Amino acid sequence: MTALISIHNSALEKVDHASNWLTPTLARLVFIAVLLVYYWNSAMLKIDGSIFSPSAGAFGQIFPKAAEAVLYDVSQMTFFQRIVIFFGTVAEFVLPALLLVGLFTRLAALGLIGFIWVQTLVDVTGHGVKLGSLFDAAPSILDQRTMWTFLMLVIVINGAGPLSLDRILRLK
């Protein structure tokens, strides 16, 4: 039994040593594999020729009730709505790009946590998506967004890892 414990501890000691660089690197790779294209596609749907001209889709995604009330006529958007759509679209391009290259990674991950929960709030209050609950057998939007948040928290806590511009520039 002592030999088995020794093998176990020896193997996991190597994993412990690797975790300092492996955990943040894998967290970024999982983000890139799972959510990078999701966010960039979502951002592309929000522009109509230029980032400064929001699409009817952007209006409907971010302000669904207001958009429906004016039949998705983008000329009816308020200045506030245009600003929110602009900055939301920029965030959907910039934050994932920063995570991709590992630049200001912790701040980008923190920004994405805020973005995820604003997105969730809009989905629930504006689009009627059922929030669901944790710790039940039915996966819901709450489960999904909690996992996304956890992934971003790993990056906030551990940084970008060795394969990043943060490391090259010696940013924390």
Give pLDDT tens digits for 89-143. Answer: 999 999 999 999 999 999 999 999 999 999 999 999 999 999 999 988 888 999 9
Q: What is the pLDDT of residue 122?
A: 96
Mean pLDDT of 53-80: 95
- How many CA within 13 A on the CB side of residue 72? 8
Burial degree of 99 (CB within 10 A; 0-12, 13-18, 19+): buried
Question: Does the reported pTM lie above 0.75?
Answer: yes
**Cα 156 from Cα 86, distance rounded (Å):** 25
Kindly report, residue by residue over 140-166, the tens digit of the pLDDT: 999 999 999 999 999 999 999 999 999
Q: Tokens in use for 16?
A: 């412990």
